[in-house]
Amino acid sequence: MKELSVKELFEKKKKDFALSVITQPRTLNNTISEAQLNRPGMALAGYLDRFSYKRVQMLGETEISYLQTFSDDALYERLKEMFEYGIPCIFITKGLSVPHQMEYLANEMNIALISSRLTTEKLALNLSQYLRNYFAPKRSLHGTLVDVFGVGILITGSSGIGKSECALDLVERGHRLIADDLVKITLQNNTLMGTPARDAGWFMEIRGVGIVDIERMFGIQAVRLRKQIEVQVELMPWRDNMDYERIGLKNNWSSIHGVNIPVIYLPVSPGKNVSVIIEVISMNHILKTFGYDAAEAYTRRLKEEIKRQSRRNR
């Protein structure tokens, strides 16, 4: 199970979320294990049966002003009861000040109180986006990711089939490389986001040459940090008995993180210009998303022609 330390979250987002810690620094040592946020209104009101204590808690103006309706003793007891569940941390929005009992108890019980100058709505949105991305399912896949005419194309295939060489050819034609050899794929709002698996520039191994630096050679315009993966192209050696797609009416699908993307099985053979075909795949994909399917249009015309022919045959 993936975990995020409160300290890491605080350090990374201090600036973006305008954060400061109210409690002592040692309270930042807790860990977060859930991406969801909780606004503990019901818990503050005393209903703790279904208290999502494992989540990051967030107090806004409503909660803080509600706390002011308590007597000192009652507030102390209620907060103590809540804190005993083991909350990772509490965010307080709009830079609001908290009751002194709360600060005392949080220090005692090692729960960080973090103040943000952002509004509740803004912090909730940003924080949950950050957490969701942090806890999103990720996996690394052997392949090369290239942005071709704005379509993220994941090139896969066995080692030595020519994925890097194909990407190099595409970069040379003005397209952009995201990752070579290993692509990290993150599930984001039901789409697949591809990034380099290592944060170490855009190096590439070309068989027989060695390591080359794509960014240095082709410039910043030839690379990208991230790109949504829309189509997979699987390069494979030509096999006589393989049933390659001839018309394109039937789509094959590849499932990554439960998201289906079209996959094209592309036979490669010496002398075949794979990068031009990948450009065509990209343009055809764009046409399809715009609602034009060439295979469908062609077969429709064919059927009309057959109909005319059949009237003549009668």
Partner 1 sequence: MQQKEITVTNKLGLHARPSALLVKTANNFRSELHIIMDDVEVNGKSIMGVMTLAAARGSRLVLQADGVDEDYLLEEIAKLFESNFSED
> Which residue ranges make up the site for partner 1 (CB under 8 A)?
243, 246-247, 249, 295, 298-299, 302-303, 305-310, 312-314
Could you tell me which residues are beta bridge partners of residue 116? 19
CB atoms closer than 10 angstroms to residue 271: 5
Residue 96 or residue 236: which is nearer to partner 1 going by CB? 236
Residue 84 or residue 305: which is nearer to partner 1 going by CB? 305
Burial class (CB in 10 A: 0-12, 13-18, 19+), 261: middle
For residue 225, the 8-state DSSP code is: S
Q: How far is the CB of 302 from partner 1 (least distance, A)?
A: 6
- At residue 175, φ and ψ (nearest 5 deg) are -90, 175
Residue 186 or residue 299: which is nearer to partner 1 going by CB? 299
Q: Please, which residues have CB within 8 angstroms of residue 30's CB and are 6 or more apart in sequence?
A: 5, 6, 88, 89, 110, 111, 112
Residue 15 or residue 246: which is nearer to partner 1 going by CB? 246
Residue 226: active-site member? no
Residue 142: active-site member? yes
State the DSSP H helix or E strand holding residue 236, giving kind and residue range, or none if neither: strand 227-237
Residue 15 or residue 308: which is nearer to partner 1 going by CB? 308
The one catalytic residue among 246, 303, 307, 311: 246
- At residue 218, φ and ψ (nearest 5 deg) are -105, -10
Q: How far is the CB of 288 from partner 1 (least distance, A)?
A: 17
Give the residue carrying structure tokens 């409690």.
23
CB atoms closer than 10 angstroms to residue 199: 8
Q: How far is the CB of 312 from partner 1 (least distance, A)?
A: 8
CB atoms closer than 10 angstroms to residue 23: 24
| Region of residue 130 (left: phi > 0; alpha: psi -120 to 50; beta: else) | alpha
The interaxial angle of helices 163-172 and 274-289, nearest 10 deg, is: 70
Taking every pair of Cα atoms in the chain, the longest distance, rounded to a whole number of angstroms, is 98
Residue 15 or residue 303: which is nearer to partner 1 going by CB? 303
Residue 50 or residue 303: which is nearer to partner 1 going by CB? 303
Q: How far is the CB of 301 from partner 1 (least distance, A)?
A: 9
- At residue 257, φ and ψ (nearest 5 deg) are 55, 30
The one catalytic residue among 26, 100, 142, 198: 142
Q: How far is the CB of 309 from partner 1 (least distance, A)?
A: 4
Q: How far is the CB of 310 from partner 1 (least distance, A)?
A: 3
The one catalytic residue among 78, 163, 175, 224: 163
The one catalytic residue among 147, 169, 180, 181: 181
* Helix, coil or strand: residue 275: helix
Q: How far is the CB of 157 from partner 1 (least distance, A)?
A: 23
Burial class (CB in 10 A: 0-12, 13-18, 19+), 288: middle
Residue 181: active-site member? yes
Residues serving a catalytic function are 142, 163, 181, 246
